[in-house]
Chain A
Amino acid sequence: MTTASAPGVPAATLVTSEQATAARAGTPADATARRGAGPRVRRRGGIAWLGLTPFAAYVLLFLAVPAVIAVGSGFFDASGHPTLANLAALGDPSVLRAFGGSFGLSAASAVIGAVVGALVCWALAALRPDGIVRSMIDSAASVLAQFGGVMLAFAFIATIGTQGLVTAWLVSTFHWDLNADGAFLYTVPGLVIPYVYFQVPLMVLTFMPALEGVKTQWGEAAATLGASRFTYWRRVALPVLAPAFCGSLLLLFANGFSSFATAAALISQGGIVPLTIRAQLTSETIIGLQNVAGVLALGMVVVMAVVMTAYSLLQRRAARWQR
């Protein structure tokens, strides 16, 4: 399963929260959005708090606490005393290799996924928005973006594994054995292929609204002002789409970076950070420091926070222009 970072929402209902908020900010509804319904009467406060308390308690117990423990455990040693010594794990060669592998895998799958996904979005724009082909493809994208890591791994073992369909075809047609140096799929570079498989649908889901938000009036205005199609793309369409494209690219990177299940099903040792965390939690003594899993978790959170902040900034910029 592509772990939680894949926002596989049916395209028709996908409005990123940032876009929804930004869109609201410009409309008359903004006043009501700030004001709330009805008078601010204390008596209704009771029911309201009753509705919010379960949520608050739930989130506190199952999100706040584990998150703090996860990120903070790196700062404690085995006996529970605070220490910074564990952070040295970040300098360990195998950990650095894992981060390098994660970055490489995420970046490669994100770039390929973004390019192919943008292409698919571009093609989809030619179809009737309420037609059957379009809604089928939207549904397919939603499902494939969520296509579980383990199940996806099986599909690719059947495709490019040692007995895979495509492997056999490549051998018979081009006399080239993909798995000559050992099964390609079970290496970190080989993971790029299944990763792209769920990155592309995610790109389609997140980038499509941006492409649809490019108003035809811009193209018509550009034409009446004398621009050729090429100039229109170069001066208008691409610059307008750039923030959304980069934002989606970052989202794909974050998605790839945090994925675990597909890799876990294919690779039994390490190579990327999530797998190293698994190794640390199942047998703690690989590196010799304490709570290395916590340190790795901290490292991952830092990377994700940076990426997601950049993503939300870009989304805000894109939403502003599309109002």
Chain B
Amino acid sequence: MTTTAPTAPAAPASLSGAGAVVELDAVEKRYGTHRALAGLSLRVEPGEFLSLLGPSGCGKTTALRALAGLEAIDAGAIRIDGEDVANTPANKRDMGMVFQQYSLFPHMTVRQNVAFGLEMRKVPSSERKSRVVDALDMVHLADFADRFPHQLSGGQQQRVALARALVTRPRVLLLDEPLSALDAKVRVSLREEIRRIQSDLGITTVFVTHDQEEALAVSDRIAVMNAGDIEQIGTPEELYRSPSSAFTADFVGQSNRLGGDLRGGDVFVYGFRVPALDLTVADGPVLAYVRPEDIAFAAEGVTGRVVSSSFLGSIRRTTVRLDDDTIVTVQHEVGDRRVSGDSVAVRLLGAPVAVAPVS
């Protein structure tokens, strides 16, 4: 049976494809009166791993399917390497796609599944054989070549789906929440494997997920989507440390929402002055999004009582009820044990925070 694979050799040359530039230009898609995509514009650089991240209904899967040609768009343009593909049907777009589940053909063996795309491209039989073997080696499933999909676990099926998508050397790889249906441990090891293969091959990749931790872990850039458009796009660090809006701050990573007062570019929270990230919000009462790691226990500061404390292996997260009944989560080192009921004081460490007007 399969377990997390050790660091593997680089992907075989037979599979390396050149990454393409992917562009979405003011794309609109409507279902009745609902705007699934609202003027979405996006550019993915060659070889880049870009994640579309957002809650259900934000349009990320619709955008991916529009890229693949599985959905038609109402307005805007989709370009691959500068070539407009709006009129190209899905089976001519030369993209590899991995679905969330059930995408392997049940009546074909693993080998036949992987060979399918090559058969469609009329690759001669001998070359087909070797490329299939290479692809299966890449996902460490060479021994399972003659099994049927229903004999494989979920993680194995997704690996076969990945091999099948990549064996044809597509210009772009599209992944529609490929890990959502899998167990937690498999999810972590498989996402790393996907990332490794992707960077070895240098193939432009668009990855859809609702799991922000997953997106942060594997992406070159993340596009946070909301209501059919991109809320913010940037590297994982940028999104985490400098969220440009309350939505992003809330969605990516954990945040404490604390009341404060915005004045002249700084926000005053419980008497602490911290820089504000979003300069478009007007002065006045705001909600400040403070990360748990930007709050620390101190000898003096805002007082409160410990509610509970969780041990998370390498860190601790302690929930504190401040004297004004606000709940904050503090992330701190493991050695600092806090017990429920303790009187404590916390202070803000001064990292810039995102703010939102109090509605």
Contacts and interface: CB of A to CB of B under 8 A. Distances in A.
B95 interface: yes
Given A217-B102, A240-B106, A321-B107, A224 B150 contact: no
B96 interface: yes
B32 to A, nearest CB: 14
Contacts of B97: 220-221, 224
A19 B255 CA distance: 48
Interface in A207-255: 215, 217-218, 220-228, 231, 235-236, 239-240
Interface in A78-106: none
Contact of A217 (B103, B168, B174): B103
B185 interface: no
Contact of B117 (A220, A226, A239, A240): A226
Contacts of A225: 91, 116-117, 120, 164-165, 168
A320 interface: yes
Interface string A266-284: 0000000000000000000
B34 interface: no
B91 A223 contact: yes
A18 to B, nearest CB: 16
A217 B99 contact: yes
A304 B69 CA distance: 49
Interface string B86-111: 00011111111101011111110000
A35 to B, nearest CB: 23
B70 interface: yes
Contact of B168 (A218, A220, A226): A226
Contact of B105 (A26, A218, A223, A224): A218
B117 A321 contact: no
Contacts of B99: 217, 220-221
Given A221-B99, A321-B107, A227 B120 contact: yes
B27 interface: no
Contacts of A239: 107
Contacts of A26: 150
A218 B168 CA distance: 17
B107 A226 contact: no
Contacts of A322: 106
Nearest to A238: B107
Interface residues of A, number: 22
A24 interface: no
A223 B65 CA distance: 12
Contacts of B89: 223
B121 A223 contact: no
B215 interface: no
B197 interface: no
Interface string B318-350: 000000000000000000000000000000000
B68 interface: yes
Contacts of B174: 224
Contacts of B94: 226
Contacts of B102: 215, 217-218
Given A226-B168, A321-B150, A221 B103 contact: yes
B101 A217 contact: yes
B176 to A, nearest CB: 10
Nearest to B65: A220
A320 to B, nearest CB: 6
Contacts of B106: 218, 240, 320-322
B121 A226 contact: yes
Nearest to A243: B107
A219 to B, nearest CB: 9
Contacts of B164: 221, 225
A220 B176 CA distance: 12
A39 B120 CA distance: 56
Contacts of A228: 91
A26 B149 CA distance: 13
Nearest to A213: B106
B70 A223 contact: yes
Contact of A226 (B92, B101, B150): B92
Interface string B138-166: 00000000000010000000000100110
A224 B101 CA distance: 15
A312 B258 CA distance: 64
B103 A218 contact: yes
Nearest to B167: A225
Contacts of A240: 105-107
A238 to B, nearest CB: 10
Q: Which 10 A-B pairs have the closest CB atoms?
A: A226-B120, A321-B106, A225-B117, A224-B97, A223-B90, A221-B103, A217-B103, A223-B91, A217-B102, A215-B102
30 contacts: A26-B150, A215-B102, A217-B99, A217-B101, A217-B102, A217-B103, A218-B103, A218-B105, A220-B103, A221-B97, A221-B164, A222-B105, A223-B89, A224-B68, A224-B70, A224-B91, A224-B93, A224-B97, A224-B165, A225-B91, A225-B120, A225-B165, A226-B91, A226-B94, A226-B168, A227-B91, A227-B116, A236-B105, A240-B105, A240-B106
